[in-house]
Amino acid sequence: MMLRVEGLTKTFDKFVAVNDVGFVIPEGRLTAIIGPNGAGKTTLVNLLTGRLTPDKGRIYFYEEDITDLSASKRVQRGIGRSFQLVNIFPRLTVRENVTIPVLSRTGGSRDLIRHLSGFKDVRNHVDHILYEVGLETSAELLAGQLSHGDQHLLEIALALATEPTLLILDEPTAGMNPKERQRLLPQLEKLVKSGSVNLMLIEHDMDVVFALADRIIVLEQGSLLVEGTPVEIQNNPKVQEIYLGGDLEDSRSHRQAQQNPSAGEKLVEVENIDTFYGMSQALHSVSMEVNRGEAVALLGRNGVGKTTTLRSITGLTPPKRGTIRLRGEIISGLPPHEIAALGVGFVPEGSRIFPNLSTMQNLQMPTQVIRKKDRRWTIEKVEKVFPPLQELRERKGRFLSGGERKMLAIGRALMADAEILLLDEPSEGLSPLMVRFLLDALIRIREEGITILLADQNLKFAYQLADRAYILDKGAVAYYGKLEDLRGKEEIVKKYLAV
């Protein structure tokens, strides 16, 4: 066996990220690990590569127990990895970037006196790798100046340069634009074909997964859900369940939805915005509208730009081009606190409540900085929507459970007298029961006339709350329309959302 994992478990203060995961990977396979956000994929990688140490369980690489080896030792043993977020040496040239791992491979990195240029063999090897991934032309550029896609290629080149026998790629295509993907895929295929290295792939882009993988491991909420060939996985109802939220038959929320027709005037208008993180472009001319009183879903897999869209609206990551209007007034370019004061409430992924403040303080905070006369929301009213909070008034944020944090985060946004709530993955990592509760609460909030823009992978959740949907793919709007229309369009669902 190349890799054998037994009962691997990792918890971050009470939250179980990876829960008793075990599997074996024989030689010569390309294994993909998939699963929704917060399923623990990256944590698993960190455990395998030695960035984290497990609480329980062992890892065997070619039957050697490597559980207690340092990261660098594991690399020397032949486990290479790339990172989800580009993790290169920005202010070194591309060649220098790749030279570092090659040197550590050849041991040359311990040479203190000879001039770098003297290492001809190293240089040739580096050039070869650059050629392999198709970066040979940009060898002398600073890595930081590369396009986002090329940075991902470099990321992979860095991993390759350690000459791994097992190469773990953590979402190599996340946030790439179509062109960049078109360049990356062949590279990966070439790698697989060459057979020189075993690949393990963490990926959301199902095109990639099914194009390459011959074995798939599905994680959900930290535990191994199923394991099998692509075909098995595709036809596995459980998998469909977690990706699409299972059966779409639940009329209750639809009645709710019908009751407030989306007749209200435009509240938020986004007009072809381009948003960047540093050098890499996350949004490509995205446009959308949200009318007062309606609930709109922003759908799509990970890294397609849902969060970025929300951040652009809040002003945390202002768009470089394009405009955003609130009630017809341009808000793009205003500082976040002013946008908040205008009635835009943001509930981020993972809630991000203030850990060292009490529930009460978390809720009161907006009211002290946003001064208004007639507020629609009071603490009492928030507690009516989220009764559990009543018991927790004095408890510090850091001691709240995931669900409680989520309620608090929504409450906090409401207390800022938000007219529109921007919810980022509200159902992520919550128990089904909690999800149901949250859903009801949000419906109540809608009835109060609050507009909702919801970014979620969980289609079911969206179906029950929202009227209209925008589907993002690769940083651009791929589809929009009424949600129930989606029911007919299985191919769209499959293409952009499902497995």
**Which spans of this chain sit near other proteins (rule: CB under 8 A)?**
49, 51, 70-73, 75-76, 80-81, 83, 87-93, 96, 99-101, 103-105, 108-116, 119, 122, 142, 144, 158-159, 161-162, 314-316, 335-337, 339-341, 345-346, 348, 352-357, 361, 364-366, 368-370, 412-413, 416
Only one residue has tokens 């499902």, namely 498
CA 309 to CA 270: how far, in whole Å?
9
CA 499 to CA 237: how far, in whole Å?
11
Query: Residue 433 CB, nearest distance to other proteins (Å)?
Result: 27
Question: Which lies closer to other proteins via its Cβ, residue 76 or residue 251?
Answer: 76
Q: Are 193 and 169 in contact (CB under 8 A)?
A: no
The DSSP bridge pattern shows strands 30-34 and 198-202 to be: parallel
Question: Which lies closer to other proteins via its Cβ, residue 301 or residue 412?
Answer: 412
Crossing angle (nearest 10°) for helices 402-415 and 359-369? 20
Query: Residue 127 CB, nearest distance to other proteins (Å)?
Result: 16
Question: Which lies closer to other proteins via its Cβ, residue 92 or residue 434?
Answer: 92
Residue 82: strand pairing partners: 169
Only one residue has tokens 């955003």, namely 324
Question: Which lies closer to other proteins via its Cβ, residue 112 or residue 433?
Answer: 112
Question: Which lies closer to other proteins via its Cβ, residue 75 or residue 392?
Answer: 75
Question: Which lies closer to other proteins via its Cβ, residue 222 or residue 343?
Answer: 343
Question: Which lies closer to other proteins via its Cβ, residue 53 or residue 431?
Answer: 53
DSSP assignments along 383-443, one per residue: HHHSHHHHHTTTSBGGGS-HHHHHHHHHHHHHHTT-SEEEEESTTTT--HHHHHHHHHHHH
Query: Residue 104 CB, nearest distance to other proteins (Å)?
Result: 4
Query: Residue 498 CB, nearest distance to other proteins (Å)?
Result: 32
Query: Residue 250 CB, nearest distance to other proteins (Å)?
Result: 32
- The two tokens of residue 72 are 């660098």
Query: Residue 32 CB, nearest distance to other proteins (Å)?
Result: 21
Query: Residue 199 CB, nearest distance to other proteins (Å)?
Result: 17
3-class DSSP assignment, residue 198: strand
Distances (CA, A) of 480 to 288, 297, 326, 368, 393: 9, 10, 20, 39, 41
Query: Residue 294 CB, nearest distance to other proteins (Å)?
Result: 22
- The two tokens of residue 211 are 């194009």
% helix, strand, coil for the chain, step of 5: 40, 25, 35
Question: First-to-last CA distance in the chain?
Answer: 29
Query: Residue 109 CB, nearest distance to other proteins (Å)?
Result: 5
Question: The dihedral of CA 90, 94, 96, 97: what is its sign?
Answer: positive
Question: Which lies closer to other proteins via its Cβ, residue 414 or residue 493?
Answer: 414
Question: Which lies closer to other proteins via its Cβ, residue 204 or residue 412?
Answer: 412
Query: Residue 471 CB, nearest distance to other proteins (Å)?
Result: 25
3-class DSSP assignment, residue 378: coil
Question: Which lies closer to other proteins via its Cβ, residue 100 or residue 492?
Answer: 100
Helices (H), 112-261: 120-133, 148-161, 178-194, 206-212, 230-234, 237-244, 252-259
